[in-house]
Amino acid sequence: MLIAGNWKMYKGPAEAAEFCVELRRRLADLEGVDVAVCPPFTSLAVAVQVLAGTDIAVAAQNVHWDEEGAYTGEVSASMLRELGAYGAIVGHSERRQLFGETDEGVGKRARAALESGLSVIACVGETEAEREAGETEDVLRRQISVLEAEDNLVVAYEPVWAIGTGKTATPEIAQEAHAFIKSLLDVPVLYGGSVKPENAAELLGQPDVDGALVGGASLDVESFAAICLAGTR
């Protein structure tokens, strides 16, 4: 069971440090659940420092596929490793929708990160229009096709229509999608899409749901800690 918090473009270094100190305290006795926080690039170093010596991992929100080069604004896997990050998210729906990332690019980012020794959370999921058109499985099949099963790869299923909208896939919808993804690729699958303390236990209780990628609810330490604790039930 992995619970990862994606902070998106929130929490500079000072706020990140304060959050991580409190998270350490709240999860000091947590067992049976792996926890990761994914701060913005500017807050990665302080998160790594504050969480050193704990079982709480720190991952980046993106990673480039080349080791170095003329890629203004990008960060390589080796840079993240040197910083002490354990992994990276790739292919988040916001990266795909707002910044034009493609399936091919997501595959390249995932491969480069895995080859460098980082763990990867690769995001997949359909939009509301795609779901209503009955295209969910086609979309997931296409997005999964660029990935290969590896020990350090985890997939996160994010129904795009449930991200930041307050809508959540029912546990049945989540289970169905997770089972389909696992039929294509033998890796753990996290659920991402308006996970909150109120719905976490039911979602995490589904047989093919192996954890959660938490967005907005990961920004509040009490809320995020409650979701982590829900994974132990």
Q: Work out the average pLDDT over 2-8.
A: 98
The angle subtended at Cα 104 by Cα 80 and Cα 71, nearest 5°, is 45
Q: What whole-number distance in Å separates Cα of residue 64 and Cα of residue 72?
A: 11
Amino acid letter, residue 198 = E
Using 50, 70 and 90 to split pLDDT, how confident is the model at 17? very high
Looking at residue 164, its pLDDT comes to 66
Looking at residue 170, its pLDDT comes to 87
List Cβ neighbours of 229 (8 Å cut-off, separation of 6 or more): 30, 33
| Position 160 pLDDT exceeds 90 | no
Give domain limits for the chain.
2-230
Sign of the four-CA dihedral 56, 58, 61, 67 = negative
Q: Contact at 8 Å (CB) between 81 and 60?
A: no
Q: What whole-number distance in Å separates Cα of residue 21 and Cα of residue 157?
A: 29
Q: What are phi and psi of 32, to 5 degrees?
A: 85, 0
Q: What whole-number distance in Å separates Cα of residue 209 and Cα of residue 170?
A: 12
Looking at residue 121, its pLDDT comes to 98
194-219 pLDDT, tens digit each: 899 999 999 999 999 999 999 999 99
Q: What whole-number distance in Å separates Cα of residue 7 and Cα of residue 214?
A: 8
Which CATH fold would you assign to the domain 2-230? TIM Barrel (3.20.20)
24-63 pLDDT, tens digit each: 999 999 999 999 999 999 999 999 999 999 999 999 999 9
Active site residues: 92, 158
Looking at residue 233, its pLDDT comes to 67
Q: Work out the average pLDDT over 76-95.
A: 97
Using 50, 70 and 90 to split pLDDT, how confident is the model at 128? confident
